[in-house]
Amino acid sequence: MKRRGMAAVLALCMLLTGCGARRPTEDASEEAAQDQSILLGFSQLGWESAWRLANSESIKEAAERAGVSLMYENAEQKQDRQIKAIRSFIAYQVDVIAFSPIVETGWDNVLQEAKDAGIPVLTTDRMVETGDESLYAGFIGSDFYTEGLHAGEFLIEKARRENLGELNIVELSGTLDSTPMLQRAEGFRDAIAGQQNLHLIDSMSGDFLRPKGKECMKVLLEKYERIDVLYSHNDAMTLGAIAALEEAGLKPGEDVIIITVDGEQAAIDLLKEGKINCVIECKPQIGDMVMELAQKLAAGEEIPRCTYSEEQVFTEYDADLDSIPPRGY
């Protein structure tokens, strides 16, 4: 662990504030325990959705449970702010850096700076693309490609079960060049490849934002006379798109098949109401796993290159939708 004068002062203040007198042996024990804690610098990409807010809370609460000191910065959807935050972590000499990259590219310089400083880096929720994979230790989050596959597989199953004919599909994709956008799109396309009745007629980026999801859906409805399926990369955009469909006099879930990713409570509620046909889970609660991996990195241990969450698919065909526990986001 790196020794940081300011961190030591803060730790001492925490020990002294609001506490009665302790025996010297207890003080020494607590100071020794404090020396073993790690300092994690975490850069969150923003707060674009309920999913992201839940992800941030998961990180903060898990750090407290694990006894990890956390330096937390929010980039407000801007890559330059994330790079600035990572450089501040390097200057502070944190033990480990973790961040959720807003896009995949453009990180090599700052990651090289972290490597030169001897600070391991963990990417969370989203991946980075680099020619030198030694610049980061590993990734933890969802298998976005599999999420896309699940979306396509559900649509194929629905078409088979209900003997549906030709279907025109529109896609609301996430932030351009982000890992979930790229992999959810690729997985979906691979799943429906060879299905002669399934036609992906357009794709627009709603940037994972609810207002943009509504705006994009309005544009698509004006552009195409017939839309049978909406595949949306996250629930926030889906909720915006559903509002646009209803304003146009269409019944989501009936007139337009709705497939969405994330699993927010609002989406599960609409699935139960029949306004969404399929919800693919993407868990935001990865904080405990982030802390476990950060502690291993700080101790000089190796970690898996990729660590994926276990996730589910909820569909209109499930018999026990009412038994789904509250989502918490």
Q: Contact at 8 Å (CB) between 246 and 252?
A: yes
Kindly state the tokens that stand for 99: 């961040």
Q: What is the pLDDT of residue 48?
A: 84
Report CA torsion sign: 196, 276, 256, 240.
Answer: negative
- 1 band by pLDDT with thresholds 50, 70 and 90: low
> Angle formed by the axes of helices 235-247 and 265-273, to 10°?
40
Q: Contact at 8 Å (CB) between 313 and 154?
A: yes
Give this prediction's pTM: 0.85
Q: What is the pLDDT of residue 23?
A: 31
Kindly state the tokens that stand for 65: 């449970």
Kindly state the tokens that stand for 85: 């935050």
In this predicted model, what pLDDT tens digit does every residue of 292-308 receive, in sequence order? Answer: 999 999 999 999 999 99
Phi, psi of 39 (to 5 degrees): -110, 120
Q: Residue 87: pLDDT above 50?
A: yes
d(CA 126, CA 149): 18
Mean pLDDT computed over every residue of the chain: 91
Decide: residue 197, CB within 10 A, 0-12 exposed, 13-18 middle, 19+ buried.
exposed
In the chain, count H helices and then E strands.
11, 12
d(CA 193, CA 304): 32
CA end-to-end span of the chain, whole Å?
35
Q: Please give, one letter per residue, the 3-state secondary structure of 104-158.
A: CCCCHHHHHHHHHCCCCEEEECCCCCCCCHHHCCEEEECCHHHHHHHHHHHHHHH
Q: Residue 4: pLDDT above 70?
A: no
- pLDDT top residue among 9 and 47: 47
Q: What is the pLDDT of residue 151?
A: 98
d(CA 181, CA 289): 23
d(CA 38, CA 79): 26
Q: Residue 132: pLDDT above 50?
A: yes
Kindly state the tokens that stand for 132: 């030198």
Q: What is the pLDDT of residue 11?
A: 36
- 9 band by pLDDT with thresholds 50, 70 and 90: very low
Sheet holding 198-205, edge to edge: 198-205, 167-173, 229-232, 257-262, 278-281, 313-315
